[in-house]
Amino acid sequence: MMPLARLVLESKAPALILTINRLRLRTTIGVYDWEKSRPRDVIVTVRMRFDGARAIASDNIADTIDYDSLASKLQHDVEPLHYYLIEKLTARILELVMEDEKVTWAEVIVEKSGVPALADSVSVKAERSRG
């Protein structure tokens, strides 16, 4: 019987999609004065496609996307800044996600609550793939 690691690498394991669900980042976002002065939580969902063959074979974090490290990176980069538009924030998060060469495709959804008054939230989705 062939070892799992060799079998996975030779059979080209399917691409995996890793999802960070509803990550809360605290930042200031908005165009109105009251939005600029009060930090608020934005909810971020990130989906990333990558070749999972090496991670499956090695069972080693170096061969996958380190989601804890990515979440910390997003927090460190996003939280201290002010964004006027949710579109800009979403594009910035997508840019940070795509810095990992293992990511072949990513989708980012950023959700902002409190506007407009009759809705639970508003969100923007952006996606990008390599190539």
| Rounded distance between C-alpha atoms, residue 4 and residue 18, angstroms | 21
Residue pair 53/9 in contact (Cβ under 8 Å)? The answer is yes
**In the annotation, is 125 catalytic?**
no
| Rounded distance between C-alpha atoms, residue 107 and residue 49, angstroms | 9
| Rounded distance between C-alpha atoms, residue 43 and residue 41, angstroms | 6
What is the number of alpha carbons within 13 Å of residue 19 lying toward its C-beta? 4
Structure tokens at 73: 């990176």
Of the residues 12, 36, 88, 112, which is catalytic?
112
Laid out side by side, the sheet with 82-83 consists of 82-83, 15-29, 40-51, 103-113, 121-129
Catalytic residues: 112
